[in-house]
Chains A and B, each alone.
Chain A
Amino acid sequence: MTAPRTDAPPPGVRVPKRRGVELSLLVCAVLISVYGYAAVGLARAGAVPPDAARYGAGLGLLALIAHLAVRFGAPYADPLLLPIAVLLNGLGLTLIHRLDLETPYDRAATTQLVWSALGVTLFILVVLLLRDHRTLQGYAYVSVAAALALMLLPVFFPAVNGARIWIRLGGLSFQPGEFAKILLAVFFAAYLSANLNALVYTGRRIWRFQFPSGRVLGPVVAIWLLSVGVLVLERDLGTSLLFFGLFVIMLYVATGRTGWIAVGLVLASAGAFLVGSLEPHVHGRVQDWLDPFASIRAGEGPGQLAQSLFSFAAGGMLGTGLGLGHSVLIGFAAKSDFILATAGEELGLVGLTALFLLYALFVGRGYRAGLLLRDPFGRLLAIGLASIVALQVFVIAGGVMGLIPLTGMAMPFLAQGGSSVVTNWVIVALLVRVSDSARAPRPEPADTGEPERVKEGAA
């Protein structure tokens, strides 16, 4: 309960902006990525790739422009968010480039770099154009309508690899569900914050749990059910799980009602069980999770999950070194869903732990911004966005490592996938914006809101 106050400045004291910290961290992030790129070249061809400097310059330029945008648009923003995003994105590019060397016919790193540039552009636009996150509160219903439209759209397109989550137009493919998750977070945050009092103070008490009244919660549950329904239709269990987790976390943070967590978990288990046993695509994934090596015993060779586990095991404690692993054996989706296997094999448990800690730090900074803010919408939005990253990391990393059944999803920033990278950059932009609001000196310094804080804390 003491942490949030450290950044709450006493009146009249100049709040450090920490933009210099951000810049030096960004330099480190770019250098680490370039070093990884050079290490791949050294391992594969015995020489630093000639375009390493160009790659570094490109990434550095992106980082620099993003930094300048933050410096001018959100000077008080958390200095860790952008460097972590750049480092993860740079490492992702290195890993994809490294896998490109194994698949000369299918090069993805350049496309990914273009998507990253697009993502950074969106980041800059959001940071510069969205001067106050509370503006979004007014677009709650536009958001939810757009989110549902985006999720419904792929139903009219053919299924790709068993999941209807893609839109293919010309040579480009999008995963609209990726964008929808931000919109849903905005909607949940707006709706829950607007109805906060009604949610907390009204409702029935059944046994030991207090349930909010149906009148308030009705629309939220309806929209949530609808979105989950769409996802089941599209057979994308990963996103479904993500939305569900997001909904439960935001509802819990808004109301503090543990009863809803319990109900949510029961619903989730029932839903997962039903889908897992009835839907053949998902059922196969569950079977695979229960016994990844069944296909080997059946004489069909190792399946994707088994190959992924082999890959992680081959990494051991220290990894084989970049460019020296054989994660390409995973085959299909090695660069997207299974990118973490390459990280595990070539960087080892040490490198993988570092990656997870980066994600943890990122999520932590998001939550920290949520704690520092005083408007409920901003809080819920920050918590929602940070939770999206945390849940997504858990769902996909747990999937490829055999902790939970595998559901197709992109590792934030690391994995190949344009929609995912762009969406993640927007998440960073929103978190930067929110954290800027959280740390910026308040317009009315006479009352720093200590009493207000106490009141809310008790709510």
Chain B
Amino acid sequence: MIRYIRRAAALCLLLLAALIVNAGRVMVVEAGPLNDDPANRRIAIGRYAQPRGEILVDGKPVTGSRDSGQQLRWERTYRQGPLYAPLTGHASQTYGTTLVEDAEDAVLAGTEPMLAPLPLLNGLTRGREPGGDVVTTIRASMQETAFRGLAGKRGAMVAVEPATGRILALVSSPSYDPGVLSGTGPGVREAWERLNSAPGRPMLNRALRQTYPPGSTFKIVTAAAALDAGVVRDVDAPTDTPDPFVLPGTRQVLPNEAEGCGDASLAYALQWSCNTVMAGLGVEVGLTGMVDAVERFGFNDTALRVPSWVARSTFDREMSPDQLALSSIGQFDTTATPLQMAMVAAAVANNGEIARPHLVDRTTTSGGATVERTARRAYRQAMNPSTALRLQELMVRAVEDGTGRNAAIPGARVGGKTGTAQHGFGNTGTPYAWFIAWAQGEGSARPAVAVAVVVEDAEASRTDISGGGSAAPIAKAVMEEALRLEAEGRR
């Protein structure tokens, strides 16, 4: 009997050994795919088990976290949700993350390995670091000014520091409170549906993700192309462009809103926004030259990140001459994001070079130690420095005595360009009023701010003055604030 008892004991031992081997299979060998399975709720639970890091504007957090007491414990809150939504985006337990919440998610959620003092040790103890903070380049007072200026309108505003590419203000209107999307449950779903079906499309980030026909503001780009290509050598010399201008290869006549554009100089054309002159110059530069010049400003770039992705601003690479003529004055298929047009203004202000635009100054640990700092980097040389200097003069003239008078700031050097773009079938859509500008404070070595404003303005008439009418005052207020901050910083 002893022999049989031993065999039976061996069988029992074998069963238990099988359990241990199977445990090793499930818990170690196959653990990876099981842990990463999208149906495994531990991923979400772990993610929301601790408060998220903060997004800082001017050193103060604009975000917060709330203990919901639910299984997904910490929910995102926003101090001034609608004001900062165009940069923060939302961090929803139901609908995921967008914008900075998305781009810097690893830091905010505490999964970024660099947050740990000893990254390797962390992997062993499986501790999750407290969420790090994201310090943005936004200036609160400028953001508020722009937000107030666009209140009740549909549109967007971007302000950048030309020399560094720091985005100082980023406003999209109408906006929304991303906090309503933070949690889970039917309330969040309702809010999501309501926001998505709202006519003003509040969740659309018009500053980064919406492209508009840039209209006459695009003439700065065409002028830069003409000057760089040598098509225009003297900005005050007649350009040999007829008014009325017949689009090449067609019988269509291009109208002017301004007067005195026949054979006008480039200076006059920018000051009063002559369609005929700029269309003619665009055709004269030619398709290849125009495409090269326009892409140096960042058009057709799909890889631009600030660090959130930016919609592609377009300028067609294949066009007939008449289409090129229309494209050269910001019509036809030419479209641009407000950020792109702010970069155009910044290029002129920064002597032709565009500094890579960015929203995040640095990321820090929860204790404040810097994890990563966004260095100033050149994006592109959009034009020759001499061209930029001449365009600065021309843009200043447009503000001092031209279409952009509404943006003039006493005691400061301000250059600007207005624009109005019709769109829709037969131009029946709401017109877009544009204004791009830069401003240099008194006694300052270089321009402190470059802005682009676009307003979807039902009141805008077909004249360029309207761009100056509804968009320029917003730009002016923001630039004034920028100059005040700059002066304050110098003191």
Question: In angstroms, how far is the closest chain B Cβ from the Cβ of A401?
Answer: 5
Instruction: Determine if B40 is an interface residue (Cβ-Cβ < 8 Å).
Output: yes
Contact (A252, B4) CB under 8 Å given A302-B39, A390-B15: yes
Q: Which residues of A contact B31 (CB under 8 A)?
A: 312-314, 316
Report the bound CA distance from A456 to B4 in whole Å: 11
Residues in A with CB closer than 8 Å to B2 are 1, 4, 371, 453, 456-457
B1 touches A393 (CB 8 A): no
Contacts of A189 in B (CB 8 A): none
With A356-B16, A457-B2 in contact, do A249 and B42 touch (Cβ < 8 Å)?
no
Residues of chain B in range 1-48 having any CB-CB distance to chain A below 8 Å = 1-9, 11-13, 15-16, 18-20, 22-24, 26-28, 30-31, 34-35, 37, 39-42, 45
A360 near B16 with CB under 8 A, answer: yes
Determine whether the beta carbon of A456 is less than 8 Å from that of B1: yes
Question: Measured between alpha carbons, how far is A7 from B360 in the docked complex, in Å?
Answer: 76
Contacts of A296 in B (CB 8 A): 37, 39
Cα–Cα distance between A166 and B8 once the two chains are bound (Å): 31
Contact among A315, A403, A453 with B18 in the assembled complex (CB-CB below 8 Å): A403
**In the complex, chain A residues 382-424 whose Cβ is within 8 Å of any chain B Cβ:** 383, 386-387, 390-391, 393-394, 397-398, 401-403
Known A-B contacts A253-B1, A456-B1; the reply to A401 vs B126 at CB < 8 A is no
Interface membership of A326, Cβ < 8 A:
yes
Contacts known (A306-B39, A312-B27, A352-B27); A394 close to B9, Cβ less than 8 A = no
1/0 per residue, CB under 8 A from B, across A436-459: the answer is 000000000000000001001101
Known: A349-B24, A349-B27, A387-B8. A310 touches B16 (CB 8 A): no
Q: Report chain B residues within 8 Å CB of A387.
A: 8, 12
Tell me, in angstroms, the Cα distance from A224 to B18 when the chains sit together: 27
> With A and B bound together, what is the CA distance between A249 and B41 in angstroms?
42
Complex Cα distance A1/B31, Å? 42
Of residues 86 to 121 in A, which have CB atoms within 8 Å of B's CB atoms? none
Q: Judging by beta carbons under 8 Å apart, are B41 and A376 in contact?
A: no
Instruction: Assess whether B39 is in contact with A316, with CB atoms less than 8 Å apart.
Output: no
B26 and A370 contacting across the interface, CB-CB below 8 Å? no
In the complex, are the beta carbons of B27 and A367 less than 8 A apart?
no
Q: Are B16 and A363 in contact (CB under 8 A)?
A: yes
A403 and B65 CA atoms in complex are apart in Å by 43
CB <8 Å contact, A320 and B126: yes
Of chain B, the residue at the smallest CB distance from A368 is B9
- Provide the A291-308 mask, 1 if CB < 8 A to any CB of B, else 0: 001001000011000100
- A379 contacts chain B at the CB level, 8 A cutoff: yes
Among residues 337 to 362 in chain A, which have CB atoms less than 8 Å away from a CB atom of chain B?
A: 344, 348-349, 352-353, 356, 359-360
Cα(A344)–Cα(B18), bound, Å:
16
CB within 8 Å for A394 and B3 given contacts A249-B8, A317-B28, A326-B42: no
The complex places the Cα of A310 from the Cα of B15 at a distance, in Å, of 23
Would you call A393 and B16 a contact (CB within 8 A)? yes
Are B37 and A394 interface neighbours, CB within 8 A? no
**What is the CA–CA distance of A356 and B15 in the complex, to the nearest angstrom?**
10
Q: A394 contacts B34, CB within 8 Å?
A: no
- Shortest distance between the CB of B147 and any CB in chain A (Å): 41
Contact of A253 with B19 in the complex, beta carbons under 8 Å:
no
Majority secondary structure of chain A interface residues (helix, strand, loop or mixed): helix
Question: What residues on A are CB-neighbors of B5 within 8 Å?
Answer: 253, 367, 370-371, 379, 383
Residue from B3, B16, B41, B126 in contact with A329 in the complex, judged by beta carbons closer than 8 Å: B41
Asked if A364 CB lies within 8 Å of chain B CBs, one says yes
B16 near A313: Cβ-Cβ < 8 Å: no
In whole angstroms, what is the CA distance A310 to B39 when docked? 9
Which residues of A have CB within 8 Å of B13? 360, 363-364
Asked if A84 lies at the interface with its beta carbon under 8 angstroms from chain B, I say: no
| Interface residue A256 (Cβ < 8 Å from any Cβ of B) | yes
Q: Say how far A64's CB is from chain B's closest CB, in angstroms.
A: 30
Chain B residue with minimal CB distance to A349? B27
- Tell me if A242 is interfacial: C-beta within 8 Å of chain B: no
Instruction: Flag if A313 contacts B27 (CB, 8 Å).
Output: yes
Q: Nearest Cβ in chain B — how far from A50, in angstroms?
A: 22
Q: Which residue of B lies closest to A313 (CB)?
A: B34
Q: Which residues of B contact A313 (CB under 8 A)?
A: 26-27, 30-31, 34-35
Chain A residue with the shortest CB-CB distance to B11: A249
**Residue A182 lies at the interface, judged by CB distance under 8 Å to chain B:** no
A309 within 8 A of B: yes
Task: Produce 1/0 per residue, A230-273, CB < 8 A to B.
Answer: 00000000000000000001001110100000000000000000
Contacts of B28 in A (CB 8 A): 316-317, 349
Give the contacting residue for A310; candidates B11, B22, B37; CB below 8 A. B37
Whether B26 and A353, one on each chain, are in contact in the complex, defined by CB atoms closer than 8 angstroms, is: no
Q: Is B15 touching A391 in the complex (CB atoms < 8 A)?
A: yes
- Interface 1/0 per residue, B366-394 and A, CB below 8 Å: 00000000000000000000000000000
The answer to whether A390 touches B16, judged by C-beta atoms less than 8 angstroms apart, is yes
Complex alpha-carbon distance, A254 and B45, angstroms: 54
Partner of A309, one of B3, B16, B26: B26
Q: Is the CB of B8 within 8 A of A252?
A: yes
A218 to B30, CA, bound (A): 47
What A residues does B42 contact at CB under 8 A? 310, 314, 326, 329
- Partner of A312 from B11, B20, B26 at Cβ < 8 Å: B26
Q: Is the CB of B27 within 8 A of A359?
A: no
Kindly state the separation between the CA atoms of A313 and B36 in the bound complex, as whole angstroms. 10
Q: Which residues of A contact B34 (CB under 8 A)?
A: 309-310, 312-314
> Quick check: B26 and A394 within 8 Å, CB to CB?
no
A364 to B13: give the CA distance in the assembly, Å. Answer: 8
- B22 A253 Cβ-Cβ under 8 A: no
Chain A residue nearest to B13 (CB atoms) is A360
Q: Is the CB of A353 within 8 A of B20?
A: yes
In chain B, what residue has the closest Cβ to A320? B126
Chain A residues with Cβ below 8 Å from B24 are 349
Q: With both chains docked as a complex, state the minimum distance between the C-beta of B351 and any C-beta of chain A, in angstroms.
A: 57
Task: With A316-B28, A317-B28, A326-B41 as known contacts, state yes or no: A398 contacts B12, CB within 8 Å.
Answer: no
| Pick from A353, A360, A371, A393: contact of B23, CB under 8 Å | A353
B1 touches A310 (CB 8 A): no
Give bound CA distance, A256 to B6, whole Å.
11
Residue of A nearest to B31 (CB): A313
Provide the residues of chain A in CB contact with B126, threshold 8 Å: 320
Asked if residues A253 and B4 are in contact (CB atoms below 8 Å), the reply is yes
Which of A's residues lie within 8 Å of B, judged by CB? Answer: 1, 4, 249, 252-254, 256, 293, 296, 301-302, 306, 309-310, 312-317, 320, 326, 329, 344, 348-349, 352-353, 356, 359-360, 363-364, 367, 370-371, 376, 379, 383, 386-387, 390-391, 393-394, 397-398, 401-403, 453, 456-457, 459
Give me 9 other A-B pairs in contact (C-beta within 8 A), A312-B34, A363-B9, A391-B12 excluded: A253-B1, A310-B35, A312-B23, A313-B34, A316-B27, A316-B28, A329-B42, A356-B16, A457-B3
**Chain B interface residues (CB < 8 Å from chain A):** 1-9, 11-13, 15-16, 18-20, 22-24, 26-28, 30-31, 34-35, 37, 39-42, 45, 126
- The 4 lowest CB-CB distance pairs between A and B, nearest first, are A313-B34, A390-B12, A313-B31, A394-B15
20 intermolecular pairs with C-beta atoms under 8 Å apart = A253-B5, A254-B1, A293-B39, A296-B39, A310-B34, A313-B30, A313-B34, A314-B34, A316-B27, A316-B28, A317-B28, A320-B126, A329-B42, A363-B9, A364-B9, A383-B8, A394-B19, A398-B22, A457-B2, A457-B3
